[in-house]
Amino acid sequence: MTFLEIHHLTKTYGQNAVLRDITLSVAEGEFFVLLGPSGGGKSTLLRVLCGIEKADAGHIILNGRDITNLTPRERNIGMVFQDYGLYPHMNAWENIAYGLEARGMPKNMIDQRIKIAAEKLGITPLLQRVVVDLSGGEQQRVALARALAKDADLYLFDEPLSNLDPKLRVQARRDILMVHREKRKPSLYVTHDQTEALASGDRIAIIAHGHLQQIGAARDLIQHPANTFVAGFIGAPSMNLVLSTLTFDSVHDVYAARFGQNAALSLPARWNAVLRAHNKDKVVLGIPPTAFTLMNSASAGDTLLEAEIENEDALVGEVIVVFKLAAGPSFAALFQILDDTTFAIGDRIHLQVDTEQLCLFDPDTEQALS
């Protein structure tokens, strides 16, 4: 069931369009992540949703009610800000209670809600401490307790983990998801961190330059990017993109993508109809870093590349290898670390490419071919 609907939302500051015709919907109980580079419009969208900013055009429908022109108090939305939005001169209990008191909630009900929220987030011993005496992680939990104590129709999280160190982020993310599951209401979570987005989002919307680039589950965004921006943004490392020339192999009835000095990959026959309709001799070839397999020696084949290692970056259980083709582009591959496999800069390697993982994009529109 759709709970939040955003229709053609536009927001400008002077001549600068920060949100450009944003349309999306969020289901009841969905944890929806807004992901993208800084300055792309994600936080502005949250401020428009909660009423801090006013949209120049478009409509916001929450639980069947048009809230576009309502004041923040009339919208009944809970929000956790990047800086937590706490009052430094108040203690934790007073910060959690403030919004509830402003709504005229009876004191006994406020006490009960604060007690429950504090117990769930493990901050009961902190309730009488002034905010400025709390650590960043403790302040973040107080802000979450304030959201948990409020019975809102929608919850917004604006990069709430950005001020925490990596160790605290893991627990804080669990706390946020606990609050979400407890409330069973839609949540919008803003981040520029792909790890957070891919680990927590039921669906993810990628926003950049004020435009909605793509919406989908994590696997959809990684395997089927809508355009070259998404392909080059998602993943660590992201998809390899290379401008290629198309030729047709009439003997095998397939197209080949040629790049570099003499590299070529034969494309699966399922691309034939798409490329005929494309009717251009150029295409942007997208090769996921997981599409490469290391071969022990050269062998005949039309999906084999020979390259020289430029760099390697060991991760936990994996290694990123950057290699360069002769007189051609560099690529990044992601391999599982095996005990008998070592990489050294300057080594020459042979790589098999799983062409079933390839994506193709129009070089002019930058949109995916399908």
Q: What is the pLDDT of residues 46-65, one digit of tens each?
A: 999 999 999 999 999 999 99
Beta strands in the chain (DSSP E): 2-13, 16-27, 31-35, 57-62, 65-66, 77-80, 154-158, 187-191, 203-208, 211-216, 240-249, 254-259, 263-266, 282-287, 292-295, 304-314, 318-325, 330-336, 348-353, 359-361
Q: What is the mean pLDDT of residues 189-210?
A: 94
Does the structure show a pLDDT above 80 at 147?
A: yes
Q: What is the mean pLDDT of residues 113-126?
A: 91
> What pLDDT score does 262 carry?
84
Domain range annotation of the chain: 2-229, 240-361
Distance between CA atoms of residues 362 and 368, nearest Å:
6
Report DSSP state, residue 52: S
Query: Could you tell me if residue 130 is left (phi over 0), alpha (psi between -120 and 50 degrees) or otherwise beta?
Result: beta
Does the structure show a pLDDT above 80 at 300?
A: no
Helical ranges in 103-188 per DSSP H: 107-121, 136-149, 166-183
Among 164-168, 234-238, 308-312, 363-367, where is mean pLDDT lowest?
164-168
Mean pLDDT of the chain: 91
Torsion of CA 346, 352, 357, 359, to 10 degrees: 60
Q: What is the mean pLDDT of residues 66-71?
A: 96
Q: What is the pLDDT of residues 216-260, one digit of tens each?
A: 999 999 999 999 999 999 998 999 999 999 999 998 999 999 998
Does the structure show a pLDDT above 60 at 298?
A: no
> What pLDDT score does 174 carry?
87
Query: 88 preceded by cis ω (within 30°)?
Result: no
Higher pLDDT, 340 or 136: 136
**Check whether domain 2-229 has CATH 3.40.1010.20, yes or no:** no
Q: What is the pLDDT of residues 160-192, one digit of tens each?
A: 888 777 777 888 888 889 889 988 899 999 999
Per CATH, 2-229 and 240-361 having the same topology is answered no
Does the structure show a pLDDT above 70 at 101?
A: yes
Q: What is the mean pLDDT of residues 92-105?
A: 91
Share of residues in the chain with pLDDT > 70 (%): 97
Q: What is the pLDDT of residues 16-44, one digit of tens each?
A: 999 999 999 999 999 999 999 999 999 99
Share of residues in the chain with pLDDT > 90 (%): 67
* 299 pLDDT tier (thresholds 50, 70, 90): low
The DSSP string of 222-259 is HHS-SBHHHHHHSBTTB-EEEEEEEEEETTTTEEEEEE
> What pLDDT score does 337 carry?
80
* 359 pLDDT tier (thresholds 50, 70, 90): very high
Q: Hey, what are 73's tokens? A: 């108090």
Q: What is the pLDDT of residues 257-280, one digit of tens each?
A: 999 888 999 999 999 999 999 999
- Domain range 240-361, its CATH number among 3.30.70.120, 2.40.50.140, 1.10.760.10, 3.90.1150.10: 2.40.50.140
> What pLDDT score does 161 carry?
81
Q: What is the mean pLDDT of residues 327-346?
A: 85
